[in-house]
Structure 1
Amino acid sequence: MALALTTALPACLASDGSREAAVPASVARGARLFDGTEPLAGTLSGHSTPLPVVATRCIQCHSGPGKSTNAASDFAPPLDRRQLREARARRGGPPIAYEQASFCRTLHTGVDPAHIVLPRAMPRFDADDAQCAALWDYLTQGPAE
């Protein structure tokens, strides 16, 4: 019993000895997609040439969950559970709330659930279903703030 406990204990501790909560794989992947560690292909509306990877990092323009407001959020809204899941008026349209399917559709098409077209500066992403789900999981993790 003592051997099993001592071999399991290191898996629960971070390298500095503090306790570390387990992060689901999809949330971890979503964080990598959001910060650009894992590339996400995209183009600008009306163009067929793929954008450079540095231009498709979500963090370039948006702050994410648990992040303090930064200069990026002056350019584009923060993306977190509250911003996505609560019904709010956006871009002059009626109040909308995102679900995973509408979020993914918006990433692909640049059109939100109220049929309002996002600005051209927002890339249209070639995200597959797993990438979309991972981004959604990351952005909507935890309780609404």
Structure 2
Amino acid sequence: METQDRLDLQEEFKHCDLYLVENKPILIIKATDTYIPIEEFKQVFSKATELIREHQVRKVIFDKRRMKVFHQPSMEWYYKDWKEELLALEMKTHRKLLPDDEVFKKSVELGKLKINEKYPGLRLSEMDIRYFDDLQEAIDQ
């Protein structure tokens, strides 16, 4: 990956890899395919939670640049269940890298709106969520 920092591969899945940034409390979740099936998606993020606890991770970077589709039920679980669990762990810093695809970006935006309407009590405003085009920038900020 395009970074000055050394990345330590922690786990490989069929459609996604997990890395820790050496000497920094940062976890990178990197999509390696155009789609992540929901069963694997939940496994990836459950493993991510283990790594966050074990390594006192303070920032999660989700690199979605290879993705073409973000499955709505996966997105709903991600926001409703996983991110709420991270808030309980005081893990509030999230960085995202999106593909250079306006249709994907728009579908994610619309999906988030639907989730916020369906679950108005979500505490996403308590999180520091920012979007970047460059991995090194996401690590540094």
TM-score interval for Structure 1 and Structure 2 normalised by the shorter chain:
under 0.3
| Higher relative strand content | 2
Q: TM-score, normalised by structure 1?
A: 0.24
Q: TM-score, normalised by structure 2?
A: 0.24
Question: Which gives a bigger RCO, structure 1 or 2 (Cα 8 Å, sep 6+)?
Answer: 1
